[in-house]
A and B are shown apart, each in its own frame.
Chain A
């Protein structure tokens, strides 16, 4: 038995005190704690990619005032290339710039195979450095990027494109010294022709605008336009 002997001395003819601290329960406890911590350990932590729907922050009873549109980077995923353009409202101010679609495979041939678009990421970074409106580290606002993609595009490609758009990074006020955040905020270009699910029998007006709605500002977003067309009293976002 493992233990610690505490010698009581033995002076004065007394018998020595031979008490031992039993270490076995302590070892058992430590072993149990190690087992528990190893079993409950999280070895693969998850992260997130933020995609903002650009909805207005005001309530519906407040009249929306139109604002001057800011230039936004539009990224279109096409067959074998990407198209980048800076647009102010509907007017194209820079571009289109074509970038070849050259995927780099990470963990190729394995179950965790991932796509990367390094060339697109480098081009987005240089474009933002040249034309971005919010490049100062004291600026709280992010520049906007709008992603256009075909409805059949697999999600792994969408994530690879969003990841490439998030390559340019900078510090933000209150974000902590040296901590970098994406300089651009991505949203999807959406069509305004909202419909309800096919089985829905409730009479709700549909929107038949076939053109793709451009995201210009929070007050003029696809969500806001679409919802105003769908319902006279948008009470959802309060």
Chain B
């Protein structure tokens, strides 16, 4: 029995990862994709059917973007991203290049207009490398 328990503990410790866990908002159903990259640590912006959230604080309304009818710059989001960028510079003052990565958690039913607006706002705030968080589908073997 001891041997069995020790084996189970060793297996679980080997498969344990503290970095793979990413908080996903309960109101967001993420799509999945096959050709994906590994996650990395970056500011997280969540977009559900009603709100745009950064670190669980509302920074915009999807309804306002949809009413505008074309991609717009979301000022609250832009300011929040700039604050995050300034914070990063304070923590990394030694001329390290700012990675400019932001990860978007977008509900799969959200319209492209909202995604484009957030994408555009992120680029204007100094985050040109936008990544969409997705689930992983098992990859098929390429011929």
A-to-B contact residues, CB < 8 Å? 23, 26-27, 30-31, 33-34, 37-38, 40-42, 44-55, 106, 111-112, 114, 116, 149-156, 158-160, 162-163, 166-167, 169, 181-182, 188, 190-191, 193-200, 223, 226-227, 236-238
**Interface positions of B from 111 to 126, Cβ below 8 Å from A:** 111-113, 115-116, 119-120, 122-126
Q: Which of these, A42, A53, A167, contacts B123 with CB under 8 Å?
A: A53
Instruction: Tell me the count of chain B residues lying within 8 A, CB to CB, of chain A.
Output: 71
Please report the C-alpha to C-alpha distance between residue A151 and residue B136 in the assembled complex, in whole angstroms.
Answer: 26
Tell me if B37 and A191 are in contact (CB < 8 A): no
Return B31 CB to nearest CB of chain A, in Å. Answer: 4
* Interfacial chain B residues near A154, Cβ < 8 Å: 108-112
Tell me if B111 and A151 are in contact (CB < 8 A): yes
Tell me if A48 and B15 are in contact (CB < 8 A): no
For residue B33, CB closer than 8 A to chain A, the reply is: yes
Assuming A34-B8, A42-B20, A166-B35, is B70 touching A159 (CB within 8 A)? no
Tell me if A197 and B67 are in contact (CB < 8 A): no
Minimal Cβ-Cβ distance residue in B for A154: B109
* Interfacial chain A residues near B31, Cβ < 8 Å: 114, 155-156, 159-160
Tell me if A190 and B71 are in contact (CB < 8 A): yes
B-to-A contact residues, CB < 8 Å? 1-2, 5-6, 8-9, 12-13, 15-17, 20-22, 24, 29-40, 60, 64, 67-76, 82, 100, 103, 106-113, 115-116, 119-120, 122-137, 142
Tell me if B12 and A37 are in contact (CB < 8 A): yes
16 more contacts with CB within 8 A, not counting A30-B2, A48-B39, A48-B103, are: A27-B1, A30-B9, A44-B135, A48-B36, A49-B36, A49-B132, A51-B130, A53-B123, A55-B128, A116-B34, A151-B69, A154-B109, A159-B33, A166-B33, A196-B72, A236-B126
Task: Find the residue from A30, A48, A195, A196 having the highest chain B CB count within 10 A.
Answer: A48
Q: Which of these, A30, A46, A50, A193, contacts B24 with CB under 8 Å?
A: A46
Assuming A42-B17, A47-B39, A152-B113, is B73 touching A30 (CB within 8 A)? no
Minimal Cβ-Cβ distance residue in B for A147: B112
A-B interface, 3 closest residue pairs, ranked by CB to CB distance from nearest: A47-B36, A166-B35, A37-B12
* Interfacial chain A residues near B37, Cβ < 8 Å: 47-50, 181
Minimal Cβ-Cβ distance residue in A for B35: A166
Minimal Cβ-Cβ distance residue in A for B82: A236
Tell me if A50 and B72 are in contact (CB < 8 A): no
